[in-house]
Every structure is written in C-alpha cells, then in structure tokens.
Amino acid sequence: MSNENIQYQEDDPNFQNLNDYQEEKEEEYVSNESFDSSTSTSVISWITWYCSLPGHEFFIEVPEEFIEDEFNLYGLRAIVPMYEEALDMILDLDDENPPPSSDLPKIERSAELLYGLIHQRFILTKLGLSLMKLKHKEARFGVCPRVYCYYSPVLPCGMTDIPGKVNVKLYCPRCGDLYTPKLKKYKNIDGAYFGTTFPHLFFLTFPELLPKNSLANPVDYELEEKNELQANEENNNENENENENENINEEDKEKNEERTYDIYTPKIFGFKIHETSQSGQRMKWLRWREGYKSKIEEIKTLPDVYTDD
C-alpha cells in the first residue's frame, strides 16, 4: 500500500482523533457503572472490562504475563504519555501514591492507547494468532459484503501501524480487498490496534483456513473439471441407490458454492454493455484471477442502439 492510498483515509470523517473518540465514548457509556474502572472495587480486571465494551468485540484479552514481560513492551514508553500510570491501570496495580483524580481521564486515554499497541503486537504471536483463530472460526469479525464472496469470514486489519490515523478495516481473503465495517460501533476503533500485518500473517500461519477459492489460492478450473469427471465415472461404476445420490448432490451444491468464483457483469435488458461504451466495464481486472472462467456463457453484447454516442 502506497502512502498516497493511506492519506485520504486520514480525513475519514468517521474517524476522529483519539481525544474526540474518548469523549464520545464517555458520553455513550456514561450510564455504564463499570466505566469507573480506576477504582479497585471492580471485580473484573481492566483488560476483561475493556474487551467487553460495545464495539470492542474484535479485541482479545492479552494475558498479563505477556504485558509483564518488559521485552514485549519495548519502545512503547516513548509513544505513550503517562506510561507507568497507564501500565498500572491495565494491570490493575494500586499505586502507593495514587495520581490526582484530575489526571484520570488522561491516564484512561493512555491506558487505551497502550493496550491497543500491546494488542497489535500480541496478535502476531503464536498464542495471539490461535486466540484470534477461535474468533475467526465463529465469523465473529463478520463476513465480506461482496455478494460473490458468499459470506466469506473477514479479519480486522489496519491500514497503518501508527495509532490515531485510520479506523479498523476488514480484510476478505477471498477477494483480497479491504472493507469498512458495517456497524457504526466499529467506526471509532483504531486500525493500528490490529496492524497492517495481522490478517496476512494469520493466513500464512493457518493456510488451511484460506477459503477454497481465495486470491492467494485460485482454483484451477480445468484441473477441477478433470477431477470431477473422474469422480463422476467412479460414482457411476458403483451402483448406488437413488437416495444416496441425492445426498451427494446436496453436498456437491455446497461445495460448488464454496468453489465458485463469480464476477458481476452489468447488463442492460439482458445485454452486456459494449466495452467501448463510456459506461462499459473498466474494472474487470479487479476481481479477475488466474483460472477464472465464467460459468455463464458469453452473453451477447449490447447492440449499437443502446451504446451512447
């Protein structure tokens, strides 16, 4: 991703700087009693509380052992203001000399930033990846909004690793594209808390979780067809009863949807719009991939009558 691509995202009106975003959240959850997390009376840990807030469903709980290891926090002290106090808050440690309560909003903001940056690092570790895998398996991050991705589960993804720039996006491994989360509550979540590397390291670690026909793993349709023919012949040789055949057909249907990869073709009164027309297709390359073959037979091109001139 080039810098230019990221630039325009920064003036995304859905995303304010961290300060605005904190204020908005305070308003939103002001009725939430557990918001006053700084008091040591709360029974649940700060991390559990933080990850259970509405909109924070994409986060996983980073184990305290990971945070207590100074090595994992290397370099964060320079980025996070009131680092010590923020770290104490995250780990629910009581200070002998508690900071003045006027500092609390600042510390809360810092704790959030610090936790986000630790989270970005943790989800790239073996344990972090496997915890995210559990969420992915239940499609807890949602599914791709693209119709022809057939509800492929997505993963949270940042467009930059620098906090306070771009809100979280969703990466679909099937079309290899980025999407804006559809629920408003995710629009104020910082993408840097997930980072640019996470979804891609995820599929490098768990290649078996890549969908059947993903951009990184396109289906070779010719080979598929050959295999299918062979399988069919074998099936025909065995004299199966009809009921069983029906079951197989149902299974085949499901498999087909998994394997199918379609590209949308705009049509006017059933005719494909001529390529050279001003409104003709220019973006077919975007969804194209090796081995792609439209199952729909070549549709007649729109006659000249309808092309604009």
Instruction: State the residues that interact with Zn ion by CB under 5 A.
Output: 144, 146, 149, 172, 174-175
Site track for another protein across 181-200, x = CB under 8 A: -xx------------xx-xx
d(CA 11, CA 167): 11
* Least spacing, CB of residue 257 vs another protein, in Å: 15
Alpha carbon distances (Å) from 235 to 130, 231, 248, 274? 39, 6, 10, 43
201: contact with another protein by CB under 8 A: yes
> Quick check: 119 and 193 in contact, CB under 8 A?
yes
Of 87 and 178, nearer to Zn ion (C-beta) is 178
> Quick check: 82 and 103 in contact, CB under 8 A?
yes
Structure tokens belonging to residue 182: 């559809």
* Subset of residues 277 to 306 that bind another protein, contact rule: CB under 8 A: 277-290, 306
**How close are the terminal C-alpha atoms of the chain, in Å?**
37
Query: Which DSSP string do the residues of 19-36 spell out, in sequence order?
Result: HHHHHHHHHHTTT-GGG-
1 touches which of Zn ion, another protein, none (CB within 5 to 8 A by kind)? Answer: another protein
174 touches which of Zn ion, another protein, none (CB within 5 to 8 A by kind)? Answer: Zn ion
* Subset of residues 2 to 21 that bind another protein, contact rule: CB under 8 A: 5, 8-9
Among 164, 218, 259, 301, binds another protein (CB under 8 A): 218
d(CA 201, CA 228): 33
Judged by the rule CB under 8 A, the positions of this chain that interact with another protein are: 1, 5, 8-9, 145-148, 159, 169, 171, 176-180, 182-183, 196-197, 199-201, 204, 215-218, 264, 266-270, 273, 275-290, 306, 308-309
